[in-house]
Amino acid sequence: MGTALTLKELTPLKDKFTLKGKVALVTGGAGGIGRSSAAVLAEMGADIALADLRVEIAQENADYIAEKFGVKAIALSCDVGDPDSVQALIDQVVAEFGRLDVVFANAGIAALDDTCDISYESWQKVMDINLTGVFLVDQRAAQWMRANGVKGSIINTASMSGHIINRPHGDDTNSIAYCVSKYGAIGITKAMALGFVKDGIRINCISPGYMYSGLHDDMPPERLVGWTDDVPMGRFGTMDEIGALVGFLASDASSYMTGSDVVIDGGYTIW
């Protein structure tokens, strides 16, 4: 048993919010949450690898981040649902930077036919990316960290839809595949956190509510009408709000957190 730190022994807060000298990998790096969180991690001092099948867009994001924050930033192609592709991604990041300290397993999709009548093909695609993808990225990254003595931080993107079934809006119905995949992402987070805790590797997840992100880029504005009616704050979340949470979980400011799921939903799940 220890004793409480005295005031003189407390670590300055600003010293906890630094990633200087570290390397961060962000999947889904072409999307809103991915690019915004990568920018936060870079602002905190980390060199960045952005992974996405839309590698041209990820490269544009990497170029902007490198210029703005003075870090090294690259873009890599990866299919997170393919174990060989994920392993190649980890190997490429390590070959390029020499290490890997922070991983944000953020790649995710939604299906337009996501109802109880969803096609098997759509169901499987959602599961491959949102569920299997999280598992593979977590597993391969944590295995590398363990083998190389890195006490890293891994963050997953789940969703408030991993806690509740979203209320339908207009012609929309409940999103069965998306919700199931996000429930699973929270379970993967907790199981992986326990599996790697003795190696000093922390694994947590975030559960965003309605955020203006890449998932909404192709949606007509009329489809978004009424979405925030059940949000106590009455609005969508923003990318800088979610990026700040990712930065916190990546840093030593969250050093006593593992297996945690942090909901950021404007109060939606209060109901």
The amino acid at residue 48 is I
153 catalytic? Reply is no
Contact in structure between 144 and 94 (CB atoms under 8 Å): yes
What is the separation, in whole angstroms, between the first and last Cα of the chain? 40
From the candidates 22, 178, 181, 213, give the one annotated as an active-site residue. 178
Strand partners for 262: 206
Q: Which residue has the tokens 């990041």?
A: 93
CA distances from 123 to 60, 113, 171, 213 (A): 31, 9, 20, 22
36 catalytic? Reply is no
Which residue, chain included where needed, has tokens 């404007």? Answer: 266
213 is catalytic: no
Marked catalytic residue, from 182, 183, 213, 251: 182
**Which one of 36, 153, 159, 175 is the catalytic residue?**
159
> What is the CB-side half-sphere exposure of residue 58 using CA atoms within 13 A?
23
Mind telling me the catalytic residues? 159, 178, 182
